[in-house]
Amino acid sequence: EVPVPGKVSTRYDLEKETELRFEVESGEAVEQIELELLTGMAEVFGSELNRNKKYTFGAGAKIAVFTWQGCSVNLYGKPEVAYVSKDTPMLLYLNTHAALEQMRRQAERDNERGPRVMVVGPTDVGKSTVCRLLLSYAVRVGRRPTLVELDVGQSGVSVPGTVSALCIERPADVEEGFSVQAPLVYHFGSTTPGTNIKLYNKLTSCLAEVYSQRCEVNRKASVGGCIINTCGWVKGSGYQALVHCASAFEVDVVLVLDHERLYNELKRDLPHFVRVVLLPKSGGVVERSKECRRDTRDEKIREYFYGFRGVTFYPFSYEVRFSDVRIYKIGAPSIPDSCLPLGMSQDDTQLKLVPVTPGRDLTYHVLSVSSAEDGEEGARKGIVESPVCGFIVVTNVDTQTQVMKVLSPAPRPLPRHTLLIMDIRFMDSK
Ligand code: ATP
């Protein structure tokens, strides 16, 4: 126990099956909080703490240190809130993991596939946290599960406005979460599925297909199964999107967090062999305001370009000629059915590629660089279903010289020339 200079330290002795919850103030220039395990064993969202190592948490972090056997920890610095709770659903979450592990064992034995699990519920019930927990527990027992991230508002894998899949090979880092290497990412373009539900469902199907293909050639991925994190929009088309996802992925288990009606609806609408389970949310999950969500999204984009914590990236800024790229928006504005050209349906318009003429209003927009091969018409077909290879932000547009300036993680030239525009904007304050 070495004191941290200039910081107050508070010791907490935790009994077994209790958790210490704390929050770091949000905003700029706030004091970071360090956490240290002194005795016993403890974990943060499924990842074990090492003893006598100081873990640092920055602005806005909301953390729970849970112990199965009892432990004592120190916090250095003054958190906004810190309290110990005896009332946690962790035992239920662990049982859920045990049940999934049972299914994996059976899959291994019978040469079948492991459990495909969809985690659903309204906003702020801890869906992402439950996914992280189940994935970390699974890797800790030697599995290789896949995280499927369908939350376009608060993606844990890539920038907002995307859906993605990531193979999990080691438990989440206590401070930084899962290591994101080579994720499979698709462009959606906005922070809510409602802006283009057809596209959202289409991308869900794309991910399901790629995942299934991987399972066919990779036995470990197949047995490990997947954990699908979804959006908090559970009514109307949002609900339909969940039903669609369940069928696209052929899910075996649906975990419904804290929403009895949703639980009953899914039980009614999904095939009888799908196990729908209602789980309570943790009292520790903190509600996040609109501003807080927006800040988190902004931060995610900043991290993409500038790195975070120990890792600093140095993005590039360069000019791109309009004539060298093709920019599209996916989805034309919807028009009344009666006005559609003969033989065209509303679906077609939502998945249509609409060319964007670069203008000043392009400034600050995030653009996805599509991995689709450059080329004319023929290639245009596959663009919606092609993963993206990265993102750039337009920082300036000069219509006179027909040139735009972009912020890019890699030096020029762009690896591909098909760009997809997002509704999302990012103002670079660096
Ligand atoms: P969204 O509405 O974005 O889908 P969600 O349902 O996925 O949200 P999480 O992101 O899992 O919710 O949790 C919200 C916040 O609460 C996170 O910052 C997380 O770290 C925190 N949190 C979750 N569980 C606990 C807990 N037991 N104690 C303290 N904080 C917690």
Phi, psi of 280 (to 5 degrees): -75, 155
Residues 149-179 pLDDT 10s: 999 999 989 999 999 999 999 999 999 899 8
Ligand 1 atom nearest to CA at 151: 4
Distance of CA 24 to the CA centre of its chain: 22
| Confidence check: pLDDT of 220 > 70 | yes
**Could you tell me if the CB of 160 is within 6 A of ligand 1?**
no
Pocket test for ligand 1, best of 47, 93, 128 (most atoms within 8 A of CB): 128
As a whole number of angstroms, the distance between CA 125 and CA 309 comes to 27
pLDDT band (50, 70, 90) for residue 382: confident
Beta bridge partners of 276: 254
DSSP string covering 350-374: HT-EEE----GGGTTEEEEEE-SPP
The closest-lying atom of ligand 1 relative to the alpha carbon of residue 131 is 11
Q: Provide the terminal-to-terminal Cα distance of the chain, rounded to the nearest Å.
A: 38
- Give 299-311 pLDDT, tens digit per residue: 999 999 998 877 8
Q: Which two tokens stand for residue 165?
A: 């899949």
pLDDT above 60: residue 377 = no
Q: What is the percent of the chain where pLDDT is above 90?
A: 82
d(CA 397, CA 411): 19
Q: What is the CA radius of gyration of the chain?
A: 23
Residue 289: other Cβ atoms inside 10 A: 9
What is the ipTM metric for this complex?
A: 0.96
Query: Rounded to an integer, what distance in angstroms lies between the CA atom of residue 382 and that of residue 78?
Result: 52
326 CA → ligand 1 middle, Å: 39
Per-residue tokens: 67: 């112990």
Average pLDDT over residues 409-413: 93
Is any ligand 1 atom within 6 A of the Cβ of residue 81?
A: no
Rounded to the nearest whole angstrom, what is the distance from the C-alpha of residue 392 to the centroid of ligand 1?
29
Tell me the residue type at 225. G
> According to the model, what pLDDT value does residue 428 have?
77
285 lines ligand 1 (CB under 6 A): yes
pTM for the structure as a whole: 0.94
Give the tens place of pLDDT for each residue, 223-259.
999 999 999 999 999 999 999 999 999 999 999 999 9
Average pLDDT estimate for 109-114? 96
Position 343 scores a pLDDT of 72
Percent of the chain surpassing pLDDT 70: 95
DSSP letter string over 269-337?
Answer: HS-TTSEEEEEPPPTTPPP--HHHHHHHHHHHHHHHHH--TT-----EEEEEEGGG-EEEEESPPP--G
Beta bridge partners of 180: none
Amino acid of residue 44: V
Question: Which residue reads 């997947």 in tokens?
Answer: 226
Residue 120's DSSP bridge partners are 256
CA-to-CA distance for 185 and 111, rounded, in angstroms? Answer: 29
